[in-house]
């Protein structure tokens, strides 16, 4: 079984990721450069943002989510991301849980990497291709690539796990929760979020929610 994990935890949120003052300063500069400061003016505290499900999941949190859902260290993961904020230090816990983890660099040959180095569209296309041919797709946070893949996989009737962000935010804020309590809450909170068809609501994107408009009416 291959699970594609899409990870982008820093770019479009005002959340803190627990790295202290130095990380906060680095994130502020990064967000200023990418978004012109638009994500910096949040009226909510970090805990409020997390409890509302507005913070991307970290690699550690994604690992705990998958483990609670029953995936073990024999599961193969593909990390689809241009660059995970914090580098290998951020990924190390996830790799301990799922040692069979790959990415573009580990799967491609040196000759293949030279052909796509620095070409953002081609790099994204590789992630998209692998995402469409995986057994399961799960994303740490919504975004353009996430929305396109969710819609495409829905159209092809492929399994996609949609993390219950508000629930997970509240669970991760609870420092006294046991593993058995966490696992039970995760399983119950994701019973209807593992590939079940979601019909498009008014004003929702037809690309993310192709049903029923684009689906066979028979």
Q: What is the pLDDT of residue 73?
A: 93
Is residue 210 a contact partner of residue 154, using CB atoms and an 8 Å limit? yes
CA distance 15 to 58: 11
Give the model confidence (pLDDT) of 146-180 as tens digits: 888 988 998 898 999 999 999 999 999 999 999 99
Q: How confident is the model at residue 191 (pLDDT cuts 50, 70, 90)?
A: very high
CA distance 64 to 72: 10
CA distance 55 to 140: 9
User: CB-side exposure of 27: number of CA atoms within 13 Å?
Assistant: 23
Q: How confident is the model at residue 12 (pLDDT cuts 50, 70, 90)?
A: low
Average pLDDT, the chain: 83
Instruction: Please give the structure tokens belonging to residue 48.
Output: 């409020």
The reported pTM is 0.83
Is residue 40 a contact partner of residue 28, using CB atoms and an 8 Å limit? yes
Is residue 163 a contact partner of residue 141, using CB atoms and an 8 Å limit? no
CA distance 156 to 61: 28
DSSP β-bridge partners for residue 6:
80, 139
Instruction: Please give the structure tokens belonging to residue 70.
Output: 């029953």
Q: Does residue 35 sit in helix, strand or coil?
A: helix
Domains by residue range for the chain, with CATH: 2-7+53-189 (3.40.50)
Peptide bond into 49 cis (omega under 30): no
């Amino acid at each position: 079984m291959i699970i594609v994990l899409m990870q982008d935890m820093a770019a479009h949120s005002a959340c803190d990721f627990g790295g202290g003052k130095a990380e906060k300063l680095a994130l502020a500069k990064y967000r200023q450069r990418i978004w012109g400061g638009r994500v910096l003016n949040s009226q909510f505290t970090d805990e409020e943002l997390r409890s509302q499900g507005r913070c991307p999941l970290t690699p550690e949190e994604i690992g705990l989510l998958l483990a609670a859902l029953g995936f073990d260290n024999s599961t193969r993961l593909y990390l689809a991301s241009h660059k995970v904020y914090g580098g290998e230090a951020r990924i190390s816990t996830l790799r301990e849980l799922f040692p069979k983890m790959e990415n573009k660099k580990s799967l491609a040959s040196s000759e293949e990497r030279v052909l796509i180095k620095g070409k953002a569209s081609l790099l994204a296309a590789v992630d998209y291709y692998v995402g469409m041919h995986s057994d399961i797709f799960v994303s740490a946070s919504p975004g353009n690539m996430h929305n396109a893949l969710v819609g495409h996989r829905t159209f092809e009737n492929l399994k996609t796990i949609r993390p219950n962000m508000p629930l997970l935010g509240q669970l991760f804020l609870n420092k006294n929760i046991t593993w058995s309590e966490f696992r039970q809450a995760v399983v119950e909170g994701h019973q209807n979020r593992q590939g079940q068809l979601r019909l498009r609501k008014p004003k929702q994107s037809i690309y993310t929610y192709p049903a029923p408009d684009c689906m066979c009416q028979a």
